[in-house]
Amino acid sequence: MEKKLHHQLDLREQIFSYKIIKMKKLILSSIIAFNLFQVVKAQSLEKMTWFNEPSQWEIKDKKLVMNVTPQSDYWRISHYGFTVDDAPFYYSTYGGEFETKVKITGDYKARFDQMGLMLRIDEQNYIKAGVEFVDGKFNLSTVVTHKTSDWSVIVLEKTPPFVWIKAVRRLDAVEIFYSFDDKEYVMMRNAYLQDNTPVKVGFMAASPDGNGSKATFENFSVKHFPDQSRLEGHTKNK
């Protein structure tokens, strides 16, 4: 009788333990699913936010197509002496470290017509990188702004139908790359950007001297990276 009672108690404990384990797995699965949903949601074009919304734009077949606002740009002070902050920018906000990339196709018409990725903390701290049309030539262009702007270019000998632009944020630096096939990437700039600060990440297009142009953005992605300083701290403390 006593053995039977012990057997029943052991069986109940096993059943109870099984239910606890099953519940924990269910909760863990729900958390993972929720986090994945949040990531997908954050990278969904429909869920992003406009700064300086253009008069015409649409999202179709996972592409954003905009008519770029005429006489618009991002620049602060240096060389030209003026500050402008009025071009279209479509973004989501991310903290921490990440890789982001997008395929860009532009109908460039006037001098300084441009489009690409932008990483922006505020109106005094941002990086924009992409393609810019200058004096009849296409340039891979990067503007880095910290209170004042600087500009660097790589002249393209041929006119590609599209370009991939990728930015990798690690610690207090951002590496900018370009590619013509989304396979082989070449670095075009390494620049400072304040770490441990949320940053707006998205698509920028401008037409400083022109009457606007058509800009198409597609295959946008943001891939989260574990924080490098935290990983290094764990390694030191082992």
CATH code (residue 89):
2.60.120.200
Res 23: pLDDT? 57
Q: Does residue 165 form part of some domain?
A: yes
- What are residue 194's phi and psi, to 5 degrees? -50, 130
Assess whether 120 and 22 both reside in one domain: no
Assess whether 6 and 110 both reside in one domain: no
Res 237: pLDDT? 63
Assess whether 63 and 122 both reside in one domain: yes
Q: Does residue 201 form part of some domain?
A: yes
Assess whether 34 and 90 both reside in one domain: no
Assess whether 54 and 34 both reside in one domain: no
Range(s) of the domain holding residue 180: 49-225
Query: E-assigned strands of the chain?
Result: 49-51, 57-60, 63-67, 74-76, 83-85, 89-94, 97-107, 114-122, 125-134, 137-146, 148-155, 163-170, 173-179, 186-192, 199-206, 214-225
Q: Does residue 236 form part of some domain?
A: no
Q: What tokens does 153 get?
A: 């270019």
Assess whether 87 and 173 both reside in one domain: yes
Q: Residue 19 contacts by C-beta under 8 Å, 6 or more apart in sequence?
A: none
Torsion of CA 6, 7, 11, 16, to 10 degrees: 0
Assess whether 37 and 113 both reside in one domain: no
Residues in the chain: 238
Res 20: pLDDT? 53
CB 13 within 8 A of CB 21: no
Assess whether 114 and 75 both reside in one domain: yes
Assess whether 28 and 55 both reside in one domain: no
Total structural domains in the chain? 2
Q: Does residue 83 form part of some domain?
A: yes
Q: What tokens does 197 get?
A: 């600060």
Q: Does residue 97 form part of some domain?
A: yes
Measured distance CA(41)–CA(35) in Å, rounded: 10
Assess whether 56 and 149 both reside in one domain: yes
Q: Does residue 230 form part of some domain?
A: no
Res 158: pLDDT? 87
Assess whether 13 and 81 both reside in one domain: no
Q: Running along the chain, 238 residues long, what does each successive block of 10 average in pLDDT?
A: 50 55 52 42 79 97 96 96 97 97 96 97 98 94 98 93 97 97 97 97 97 96 88 65
Assess whether 31 and 140 both reside in one domain: no
Q: Does residue 174 form part of some domain?
A: yes
Res 138: pLDDT? 95
Torsion of CA 129, 132, 134, 138, to 10 degrees: 110
Q: Does residue 238 form part of some domain?
A: no
Res 28: pLDDT? 47
Res 32: pLDDT? 43
